[in-house]
Amino acid sequence: RPRAWFGRLDYIVDMLSFLFAAITAVAIARYRRCSRYCPPLSLLSLAVVHCCRLPSSLSLPLLLPSMEDVAKDLAAGTVGGAAQLIVGHPFDTIKVKLQSQPAPLPGQPPKYSGAMDAVKQTISAEGPRGLYKGMGAPLATVAAFNALLFTVRGQMEALLRSEPGTALTVNQQVICGAGAGVAVSFLACPTELIKCRLQAQSALASSTTSSGAVKYGGPMDVAKHVMREAGVRGLFKGLVPTLSREVPGNAAMFGVYEALKQKFAGGPDTSGLSRGSLIVAGGLAGASFWASVYPTDVVKSVIQVDDYRNPKYSSSIDAFRKILASEGVKGLYRGFGPAMARSVPANAACFLVYEITRSSLG
C-alpha cells in the first residue's frame, strides 16, 4: 500500500531526523579532535527537525515543493550567487589578508596598516588580478552553494507553510535560514579553505622563510597540497567555526531580509516591492550576517590557513583565546571594514538578481 505508506509523513520525518543526527555524529567524530561535539550536535539536529514538524494529517504533496519549484530556486540561486561573487570578491580578498596576516613582533608595524594599505600593496605586488585571487574555487562552486542555500530555504518554507501560497512570519524565515545554513556549511568549508589559503599566502609568506612558504598555483594545487598533508578530512578543517558562522548568520540574514521587506510593503504581501526596496533589504540583510558572526569568521580563517604539520592553534577555542590574548577584542574584528563594505553591495546584488530571476521564471 504505497499511497498509505507515503501518507504517514510522521514516520518519514522520524527516519530522516534520526538519519540526519547519525550522519552529523559520524561526520564530526571523524573530524580531528572534535569528537566531544557529537552528542550536542546530534541532539541539536533532532531538535531542529522535530521543532519544524507539521501535523501528519497533511498530505505529502502539500508539504513538499514540486520539482518545478526546486528547479526555479536552483536557477535563481545560481544566478544570484554569481552576481554576489563578482561584486564582492575583491572586498573578500582584502578581508582575508587582514584577518590572516601574522601578528607583528613587538615594536614592529603590521604588514598591512589597514584596508586601503592592503589594496595598495596587493595591486603593487600582484596587479589588479590579485584582488580576484582565489576566485576560481568559489566560482566553480557558487552555483552549487547558492542553489543549495536557496533550495533548502525554499523547501523549509514549504514545510512551514500552513497552506500553499501563505506568507511566512519573520520567525519562520529565521528557522529557514538556520536550516539552510546547516546544509551549506558542508560545502562552504572546503571551498573557503581553498579560497583562504590562496588569498592569504602572500601575507603569510613574509612570516616564513622563502623555502618554507608554500606557493599555490591555483585551487586544484591547494587541494592537492592539503590532501597530501592531511587527506580528505584536511579539506574540512574549520568545519565547526563554519557551522557556527553559517547557521546563526543565515538565520539573521533571512530574518532581517523578510522583516525589512514586510516593513517596506506595509504587510506580509511583498510581491509588489520595487527594485530599490529589494536592494536596500538585501544589502542590510547581508550586513546583519557579518555583524552577528564576524569574530567566528576570523577564527575560521586563521584555522583554515594554519599549518597542518605544525599547527599554531589546536582548536577553534584555542584560536579564539590566543587572538584575544595577543591582540584583544580588536583582533577578532580584523578586516571588519572590508567585510561590511562587501556585504552591502554583494548581498544587494544577490537578492535583487535572485528575486528578478525567480519572478521571471513564474
Per-residue pLDDT tens digits for 281-294? 999 999 999 999 99
Range from 1-10, 85-94, 209-218, 273-282 carrying the lowest mean pLDDT: 1-10
Predicted local confidence at residue 219, as pLDDT: 83
What pTM did the predictor assign?
0.72
Is residue 17 scored above 60 in pLDDT? no
Predicted local confidence at residue 303, as pLDDT: 95
Per-residue pLDDT tens digits for 323-336? 999 999 999 998 89
Predicted local confidence at residue 44, as pLDDT: 47
Predicted local confidence at residue 158, as pLDDT: 86
- Report the distance separating Cα 80 and Cα 265, nearest Å: 22
Is residue 20 scored above 90 in pLDDT? no
CB 249 within 8 A of CB 292: yes
CB 290 within 8 A of CB 333: no
Average pLDDT over residues 15-35: 46
Predicted local confidence at residue 162, as pLDDT: 80
- Report the distance separating Cα 153 and Cα 69, nearest Å: 12
Per-residue pLDDT tens digits for 198-216? 877 766 555 544 444 557 8
Per-residue pLDDT tens digits for 93-142? 888 788 777 777 777 888 888 888 989 998 998 888 888 877 766 676 77
Phi-psi label, residue 267: left if phi above 0, alpha if psi -120 to 50, beta otherwise: left
What are the residues whose beta carbons fall under 8 Å from the beta carbon of 92, sequence distance 6 or more? 195, 199, 338, 339, 342
Predicted local confidence at residue 60, as pLDDT: 41
Topology classification of domain 68-206+213-361: Mitochondrial carrier fold (1.50.40)
Could you tell me the three cell numbers for 209? 622563510
- Report the distance separating Cα 135 and Cα 142, nearest Å: 10
Higher pLDDT, 255 or 155: 255
Predicted local confidence at residue 66, as pLDDT: 64
Predicted local confidence at residue 241, as pLDDT: 95
Is residue 8 scored above 60 in pLDDT? no
Is residue 144 scored above 90 in pLDDT? no
Is residue 146 scored above 50 in pLDDT? yes
Write the CA distances from 77 to 141, 143, 188, 246, 355, integer angstroms: 12, 7, 15, 17, 9
Per-residue pLDDT tens digits for 300-312? 999 999 988 889 9
Q: Where are the domains positioned within the chain? A: 68-206+213-361
Residue 35: how many other CB atoms lie within 10 Å: 12
Average pLDDT over residues 259-265: 95
Instruction: Give the residue among 108, 235, 259, 99 at the shortest CA–CA distance from 177.
Output: 259
The pLDDT confidence band at residue 19, using thresholds 50, 70 and 90, is very low
